[in-house]
Amino acid sequence: MKPTTILSVLIFILSNGAFAQMDTAKYFQQIEELEKKLSYTYYNRDQRTWYINRFSYDGEMQMIRFKSTSSKKPMLVIGKKYTERHFKLEDLNPYKITKEPVNENQGLIVRGQLIRLETVKHEKLIGKTINGEPATAQSYIHFSIPQYLEDSIPGYSEGILASLQEIVQFATNIRNFYDPEKNENMIFDLLLGEHVSGNKKRFTERQTEYLLSFEEYEDRRKMRTGFIGHDPIIDRYYEMLIEATGEMTVNYYRVDMTSPNLVLKSIDEGNSRQIVFVNRSLYQYKDNGVLTEYRPSGSF
C-alpha cells in the first residue's frame, strides 16, 4: 500500500469511531494482503480468454476498486475489455459474505472457489464501469478464485474470506456521532423498511420528518403497531407500542453518550431497555435480559 494511501486510511480510522475497537496495524495488514491475494491472473480455457484482476483500496475515497481486464490475447492493446467495480466496505452486509465451490468455467467465474459479498438491504451500491463507461450498479460482487491458486497455496480462498469478513465487520459498525441530527438520521435510516426477527416481520415507514410508524406481524398475523419519534428540542426519542389487544405502552429514550457506538437507552426509572444499532444489517432490543434482533429481510 502506498504511503499516501496509508496516511489517508489512518486519518479515516482515527476520525471514525467505527474502527475504535480495531487494531490498526492488523487492518493495514489485511488490506495489503487482500491487495496481493485478489490481484491475480487466470485463463478460462472454455472461452479462451485471459482475466487479469487488480484489487486496490483508495484511502482518500475510502473505496475498494476491483478491476478485471479480459482479453483473448493479453499482450495486445486492442480488443481488451476493462470492467471495474467500486464500493465502500460500510455498504456491505457482514452476514452475507460466503464461499462456495465452482466446478465449471462461466466467463469471469472459473473452476475453483467463489467468494460472494452482498450489500445492505440488497441495494445497488456497487458501482460498475465497462471500458470507462457507466454500467448498471449491482447489489453484490464476486471474487472467483481459480483452482490453481487453491492447489498451490493451502487455504488461499479461506484466508481471503476470513479477512473480508473481519474488515467488513469493523467497517460497518455504527458509531455514535455525538451530533443529535446525524444520530437521528442514522437511527431513522436503520429502522426504515422491512425487518425480520425469527417468525416476526416489522414494516416501518416514515410519517413525518421526526416520526416513523410500523406494523409487526407474527406468522402473518398482526400483533402490534407503533410509532417511533424524536423530539429535537429536548433530544428525546419515544416509542409507542399498541398491542392487538389494544394495550398501549410508551417508552422514552436518549442516545447513550457514554457509548462509542449508537445506542438508545431508556430514561424511564427502573427500565434497562435499550435499542442497540450494531450495523446497517442488524439492530437489537435489549429488554431486562431479553435480546431481540431485527435484520433486513433476506439479509441473513
> What residues does each domain of the chain span?
3-172, 180-296
- The tens digit of pLDDT for each residue in 150-166 reads 999 999 999 999 999 99
Q: How many H helices and E strands in the chain?
A: 5, 19
Look up residue 272 and give its amino acid. Answer: S
Q: How many CB atoms lie within 10 A of CB 139?
A: 17
> How far is 110 from 67, CA to CA, in rounded Å?
17
> 5 pLDDT exceeds 70?
no
Q: How confident is the model at residue 105 (pLDDT cuts 50, 70, 90)?
A: very high
Report how far apart, in Å, the C-alpha atoms of 101 and of each of 116, 157, 172, 297 are: 11, 10, 27, 26
Look up residue 262 and give its amino acid. Answer: L
Which residues lie closer than 8 Å to 27 by C-beta, 6 or more apart?
Answer: 9, 13, 19, 167, 170
> How far is 183 from 164, CA to CA, in rounded Å?
27
Q: How many CB atoms lie within 10 A of CB 18?
A: 19
- Mean residue pLDDT across the chain: 90
Q: How confident is the model at residue 300 (pLDDT cuts 50, 70, 90)?
A: low
* Alpha helices (runs of H) in 107-155, residue ranges in sequence order: 147-152
Which residues make beta-bridge pairs with 146? 112
CA dihedral 190, 122, 173, 250 (to 10 degrees): 20
Q: Which of 123, 115, 128, 121 is nearest to 139 (CA)?
A: 123
- The tens digit of pLDDT for each residue in 173-227 reads 999 999 999 999 999 999 999 999 999 999 999 999 999 999 999 998 999 999 9
CA angle 248/254/256 to nearest 5° reads: 135
Structure confidence at residue 1 (pLDDT): 55
